[in-house]
Structure 1
Amino acid sequence: MTDVRASVLGGSYERPADASARIQFRRGLTLTVMTVLMPGSAQLVTGNRTVGRIAVRIWLGVLALGGLLLLISMTSRRGMFALATNTTLLHLGAWLLIAGAAAWVALLVDAWRLAQPRRMERNHRLWMTGLNSALCFAMAGSMLFAAHLINTSSSVIGTVFASDSVSGPSDGRYNVLLLGGDSGVGRNGVRPDSLTVASIDHDTGRTVLIGLPRNLEDVPFPRGSVMDTEFPDGFACADACYLNAINTWANDHADKFPADYGDQPGIRVTMEAIEQITGLKINYYALVNMHGFSKLINAVGGVTMNVRQRTAIGGIGSPIRGYIEPGEQQLTGSQALWYARSRVENNDFSRMGRQKCVMTAMLQQLNPKSVLLNAEKIADSSKALLTTDIPQQDLGIFMDLALKAKNEKISSVSLVPPVIYTGNPDYKKVRRLVSKAIDKAEGKSPTKPKSGLLAATLSVPKIDADKDPMKANQSADLSAAC
């Protein structure tokens, strides 16, 4: 009769062995889920309670720390960024993740042991073994990968943002000199052919991009400086003494400068010259390597641009090998680089406008999700991309300002003809133009710009916005101009 199943009160008879197997399987699942949700809880219920208590207390501490970080992120984004860019904390976090991954796997394996898999039916045992194995690989793998990303980020921060000199905002603004470094055959040293000052409001992130032509002549220097002594009438000589050649000249004559300028004084001297040109205190510089810039764009999957003008690929020391056609399209790193630097069939001033459009597109299209998904590629490109004196201490500030700038209009003023003639620049006029552009960005001017341009301030020629990117050189809203 024991092997006969009969209906009892509308139900069915279940053999004790089947009921025991089902309960054992359910117990195993419960212990596994408990370990996933609260490591150590399975050991507290059935196992080594000392281990369980230690694990649960650590887990509660982790939750409390997570809650504290969430509170900081909600009340002080800059404070959160400061913590996230502290290399000491990053190294500590990476090691804790590695240790946590090992401990969590050990607790999962122990929970599987406590479930007594040998007493389960074969199918149940296989399911439990597969589930625990998958959880061990998934949880440990994700934590170890997170530790790897943290170590990679820490390495980039320690390498790129190694300066320890902090410069505070001037008149409520950070002024950062952005240089596009270019070197090649037949060139003496690295000449920054792209020179832009990003003037950023310390509170709002509202940004004005000030474009300086590479071929600006008679560049002034601080009174009494080495360069002022060498060139009392401005940077002028018989052989192309332009703004972008100051870096090379200073590095070639490093012995003329005080010891605190270092053995490569070119960037610092260039910053001093641009302070004289614009009337702004330059806080920091960032020198972007062209090849690294291309790698960065590839790392985030390209950049979408509204190409306003047919632009040649190649042609600088080599034949033209293609074109970037007008229209909205996704540019690869190489295409974006050529769009930003080509001047074969147009001119330097068109190139300056295109460079501002590329900068604006990158700022608007880079977001935390794309950065996170491509963190390793971005980190790899960053070491080849950037040389800067922005210190680690200020990195959190600039990360916060970058997010704020995404929601603000970016305006521009460029020292290009017919506003400023590069061969005979009026530097008093330059400083007035820069001051007025910043005042407009801060809402201090009662005069509203016409048609989105700084036309009230600058005598800007009429430009066909659909065909010529030069419009971006003088704009109160680069998004609209680009």
Structure 2
Amino acid sequence: MSGGRATAAERAARVRFRRAVALLVMTLVVPGSAQLLAGNRRVGRIALRVWIGLLALVLGSVLLAAIDHSYAFWVASSPDVLAIMRFGLIALALAWAWLFLDAWRIGQPRAEGLALLLPHRRMVLGINVGLALLVAVPLFFGSHMVGVQRGLMVSMFSGTKVTGAHDGRFNILLLGGDEGAGRTGLRPDSMTIASIDAETGKTVLVGLPRNMSNFKFKPGSVMAEQFPDGWGGNGKYLNGLSTWAMDHTALFKGYKKPGVEATIEGVEGITGLDINYWAMVNMHGFHELVDAVGGVTINVRQDVPIGKTGEITGWIKAGTRKLSGEQVLWYSRSRATSDDYSRMARQKCVMGAMLSQLSPQTVLTHFSKIADASSSMVSTSIPSSEVGNFVSLALKAKKQKIATVSLVPPAIITSKPNEAKIRRMIAAAIDGKKATKKVAKPAGSTSTTTATDTESSSDPVITGGSIGSLKTGYAANQSDDLAASC
């Protein structure tokens, strides 16, 4: 420096430094451009073409997903596509990092008098490492997340048989399994059919009580051959089919889940509905899923006990509140101060709440936790190829009222179910017909009140946390608008 002015050598060093930095920035913005300008042009052309192709693919996919949501669901649920994406992201991260390394090399002239000054070399090295990490870390993390998604698809949606809609509807049997002491495997204590319109997503929840007995099986089924006169007597209930089948697995050759198959055959015999797929939730792990999404807001109509009869340890207080996983589990299962049918009503309220509150944004925000909880908690026969279709239907269902019909008292005597009446009730619910029912009368009233929803009463009876009573029926069990009945 002479008289405060840089010498020619210093100015040249600054130019070389700016050039080296520019090559790194060019690699960040347009991979391969540094090689086209000052390196191996063949490498630069290949990198540039790949970059342009990837941009076109991403932009085209985003546009297609915006037009047709099913495309996005297909991408997110196809194990093959996810595998390609995972390894593609890893390859992209490694290749981009190599381009940064090569751009750094190009910006380091070795000729006498042209080399960067030591401070400049250190700065360029730091910038190079920083930019490489800026690109590689998100790509590697993205690859990890795609791997988690693929693992979830492979482990949970392991079904291989694709079945079409029956009479325009998909019927999915939802089972709540209980791993109690002395039980073999998961015993389904909660059974609900989600009957979904294949076009509109309109959903009807058909609830079956665990203590239903004296019913016949679907003709031609394994259980129908073993019990041609039906299932009942000597404590034989619907939820006992699974245990019986697990003790006679030789009869169910070709079935991975004999207990589930026997239960399906019983459910089909009772309802007349053909089951497309099943999904079983381990109720003891259910709270993990609820916690993974940050809790679920429930309108708790009445204090609900935590604990079994004689072992109550606390209460879920009445009011609209966000419940933790443990609280939702007890809200769904408690019957210390109520009965099985009130519990069924509360379970439907939980189903409705989760459907309405689980948005794509919530799933993305808590994705890793949801994946970890779901993979160990849920098993299903739905093939991964069908997940996108059902996600699309679920989004349609969110915008509509959910109807419910439960095969419980007072409409149905569980020890002697009326098959014809059951079929009529289900058909009416699917067709959207409102069934007028009696509602508990407010104190001092002498008239009989009828309504399609007990919530319409000015002073509805609330029993065990559910609107209604064992005598009159619980609103959430028989409703054309589940949300209003909860």
Superposed pair shares fold, TM > 0.5: yes
- State the one-letter code of the partner of 2:277: Y
Matched, 1:366 2:365: no
Equivalent residues of 1:211, 1:414 under 8 A apart? yes
Q: Hey, what does 2:206 align to over in structure 1?
A: 210
Tell me how far 1:261 sits from its aligned partner.
4.2
Tell me how far 1:33 sits from its aligned partner.
2.6
Equivalent residues of 2:264, 2:275 under 8 A apart? yes
1:35-434, aligned counterparts within 5 Å?
Answer: 35-116=27-108, 127-187=123-183, 189-238=185-234, 240-255=235-250, 257=251, 259-261=253-255, 264-315=257-308, 319-434=311-426
- State the one-letter code of the partner of 1:471: A
- State the one-letter code of the partner of 1:181: G
- Inter-partner Cα distance in structure 2 for 1:389 and 1:161: 6
1:128-180 Cα offsets, whole Å, 9 max, x none, are 44333222223211111111122222222122222211110111111100000
Structure 2 stretches of 5 or more lacking a match? 439-449, 468-473
Residues 1:132 and 1:184: Cα distance change in structure 2 (over 3 Å): same
Q: Hey, what does 1:8 align to over in structure 2?
A: none
Residues 1:478 and 1:19: Cα distance change in structure 2 (over 3 Å): farther
Residues 1:459 and 1:422: Cα distance change in structure 2 (over 3 Å): farther
- Inter-partner Cα distance in structure 2 for 1:235 and 1:83: 44
Equivalent residues of 2:289, 2:370 under 8 A apart? yes
- Inter-partner Cα distance in structure 2 for 1:480 and 1:32: 60
Q: TM-score, normalised by structure 1?
A: 0.87
Q: Hey, what does 2:480 align to over in structure 1?
A: 476
Residues 1:132 and 1:301: Cα distance change in structure 2 (over 3 Å): farther
123-132 vs 290-299, which moves further: 123-132
Equivalent residues of 1:306, 1:327 under 8 A apart? yes
- Inter-partner Cα distance in structure 2 for 1:119 and 1:475: 80
Query: What number of residue pairs does the alignment pair up?
Result: 462
- Inter-partner Cα distance in structure 1 for 2:477 and 2:56: 50
Equivalent residues of 2:453, 2:485 under 8 A apart? no
User: What is the RMSD computed on CA atoms of the aligned residues?
Assistant: 2.9
Tell me how far 1:127 sits from its aligned partner.
4.8
Equivalent residues of 1:217, 1:423 under 8 A apart? yes
Q: Hey, what does 2:444 align to over in structure 1?
A: none
Q: Hey, what does 2:442 align to over in structure 1?
A: none
196-205 vs 296-305, which moves further: 296-305
Tell me how far 1:248 sits from its aligned partner.
1.2
- Inter-partner Cα distance in structure 1 for 2:172 and 2:76: 22
Residues 1:306 and 1:27: Cα distance change in structure 2 (over 3 Å): farther
Local SS of the residue matching 1:352: helix
- State the one-letter code of the partner of 2:187: R
* Runs of at least 4 residues off by over 6 Å: 447-451, 455-462
Local SS of the residue matching 1:181: strand
Identity %: 47
Residues 1:184 and 1:38: Cα distance change in structure 2 (over 3 Å): same
Tell me how far 1:398 sits from its aligned partner.
1.1
- State the one-letter code of the partner of 1:329: R
Equivalent residues of 1:419, 1:458 under 8 A apart? no
- Inter-partner Cα distance in structure 2 for 1:189 and 1:163: 19
- State the one-letter code of the partner of 2:320: E
Residues 1:112 and 1:245: Cα distance change in structure 2 (over 3 Å): same
Tell me how far 1:306 sits from its aligned partner.
1.9
- State the one-letter code of the partner of 1:294: H
Structure 1 stretches of 5 or more lacking a match? 6-12
Q: TM-score, normalised by structure 2?
A: 0.86
- State the one-letter code of the partner of 2:409: P
